[in-house]
Structures are given as structure tokens and as C-alpha cells.
Amino acid sequence: ILFGFTPDSLSCNSCKVGFRGNCLFYSKETCGSDKAKCYTGDLGFNNITNMVSFHSRGCFYVDPCNVTETGSLLTAGYTMTRVCCDGDNCNGATSVQLTLTAALGAAATAVGSR
């Protein structure tokens, strides 16, 4: 018996913080029993240039998957899209891993260009 290993555990690519589709801190994640899907999520702000968008990946609940939600945060409208999939690491690895300095510089440039 291997301790800490459950044959039915789902493994997903994880990105807690990303910018414009690029991951800042990339890792693998073993999902708990309450999370049965892998997901890729994108959050964009409607009244700020398209250059400002945030990205995440990881384990997720069965619902709400494959949805686009809209709302507002303070005065900024946003759109959040979450796409889920079944199977180990089905949410793909990010191709580029940015440094925090590069991401902050890109964010400052995007906000400053408004």
C-alpha cells in the first residue's frame, strides 16, 4: 500500500496567478475528493484594454463548469470564463512562465496606456 496515493485521484495543472495566459507560479495539483474536474479560467476587465487579463488553472468542482460569468468590481465590468475537462492534466501546461517582475511591468504598461 502506498500512503498518500489514491488511485482515483485526479491530477491537474495548477496556476494560481497568471497574466495574459502566462503562468507566474506553475505546478501540478492532486485534486481532493470534492473536486472532480480540471479547469482553465480567464478573467478580463471590459472597460480596461484587452491587455489586462488574468489566468488560472487547477482542480474544480463539477459545477459551475464551462460557463462565462459577467459582473462588476467597483466600477470595472469583468468577464470570467471557466472551461473544465476530465482526465489527468487535461487542462494543459502553460507554455511560458513569467517572472513576477515581468508580469508587474506588463500590467503597469497596460494600465498606463489607457
Check pLDDT > 60 for residue 94.
Answer: no
Class of domain 11-104: mainly beta
- 1-15: average pLDDT: 71
Return the C-alpha cell found at 94. Answer: 502553460
Rounded to whole angstroms, how far apart are CA atoms 52 and 106? 9
pLDDT at 22: 76
- 3-30: average pLDDT: 79
Task: Give the chain's mean pLDDT.
Answer: 77
Q: How confident is the model at residue 91 (pLDDT cuts 50, 70, 90)?
A: very high
Q: Is 108 helix (H, G, I), strand (E, B) or coil?
A: helix
Where are the chain's structural domains? 11-104
pLDDT at 10: 94
